[in-house]
Amino acid sequence: MALLEARDITKIYRLGRVDVPALRGVDLDVQQGEYVAILGPSGSGKSTLMHILGCLDSATDGSYRLGGTDVGTLRGRALARVRNRKVGFVFQTFNLMPRLTVEENVALPLQYRGGYTRRERRGRAGVVLERLGMSHRVGHRPEELSGGERQRVAIARALVGEPAILLVDDPTGNLDSKAGAEVLETFREVHAAGNTIVLVTHDPNVADEADRIVHMIDGRVAA
């Protein structure tokens, strides 16, 4: 059984009186340990798909199972729980909390999970930062870091809760080519360590990093 199973996912946005379909029946399976890139131009529905796969949004129709759980029917608090335990997000714009230190940023998902003391949270954040070669930056604030360093902090934050899947949204979009290459190298290492990654991008060169590329166009998976 696949780690991630999406069947006939449809998403329709209602803008005033007009229905705008963003996804028109998407099927997608991702296996445990796989590195998949979803490639498509803007407006192809790849971001909408990522939001649904990441349990930030729910599909208008279709079924979605993540790690054997039918998450398509979940709402609100239950969905927040799934996001917290099973999904790790990496955003194009990093989305770090500017007033928190690197360590505090990385520990944030554990704070929402509960059950960890402050000390335990810091300990686990430290371990992940060490793994990503960022342990010399624990006490800094995001504004004191380079773009590539910020993105690696964001990756550490996504990994700290040991999620089932890493959802990555155009991770090099805000980086110069050197920093971008370093970040992609980090993803290769993370993948090599056994993590499952779904990466969304419009850049074929970035998509080439993955084991498998899923092309999207007009809200459908291209054949």
Pairing outcome for strands 212-217 and 35-39 = parallel
Residue 166, strand partner residues: 88, 197
Q: How far is the CB of 198 from another protein (least distance, A)?
A: 15
Taking every pair of C-alpha atoms in the chain, what is the biggest distance, in angstroms? 54
**Minimum Å distance from CB 141 to another protein?**
11
Per-residue tokens: 82? 């799934």
E runs forming strands in the chain? 4-15, 18-30, 35-39, 61-66, 69-70, 87-90, 165-169, 197-201, 212-217, 220-221
Q: Is 189 in the site for another protein (CB under 8 A)?
A: no
| CB-based contact 169:138 (threshold 8 Å) | no
| Contact call for residue 174 and another protein (CB under 8 A) | no
Tokens standing for residue 102: 């690197």
Cβ at position 107, least distance to another protein in Å = 10
The pair of structure tokens assigned to 133 is 């070669």
Nearest partner of 60 among 124, 106, 14, 113, judged by Cα: 14
Taking the least distance from each CB to another protein, the nearer of 99 and 136 is 99
Identify whether the C-beta of residue 128 lies closer than 8 Å to the C-beta of residue 106: yes
Which one of 28-36, 74-82, 177-185, 194-202 is the stretch in contact with another protein (CB under 8 A)?
A: 74-82
Residues between 13 and 32 with contacts to another protein, criterion CB under 8 A? none
- Tell which one of 157, 191, 207, 210 touches another protein (CB under 8 A): 157
Is 202 one of the binding residues for another protein (CB under 8 A)? Answer: no
Contact between 77 and another protein by CB under 8 A: the answer reads yes
CB of 96 within 8 A of CB of 32?
Answer: no
Q: Could you say whether residue 193 binds another protein (CB under 8 A)?
A: no
**Window 95 to 134, contacts with another protein (CB under 8 A):** 95, 97, 99, 108-109, 111-114
- Our CB check for another protein shows the closer of 78 and 222 to be 78
Interface region with another protein, contact rule CB under 8 A, candidates 59-67, 83-91, 131-139, 202-210: 83-91
Q: How far apart are the first and last CA of the chain?
A: 22
Please report, as residue ranges, which positions from 32 to 71 form the binding site for another protein (by CB under 8 A): 51, 54, 56-57
Q: Closer to another protein at the Cβ: 147 or 213?
A: 147
Q: Give the interface with another protein as residue ranges (CB under 8 A).
A: 51, 54, 56-57, 76-77, 80-81, 83-85, 89, 91, 95, 97, 99, 108-109, 111-114, 157, 161
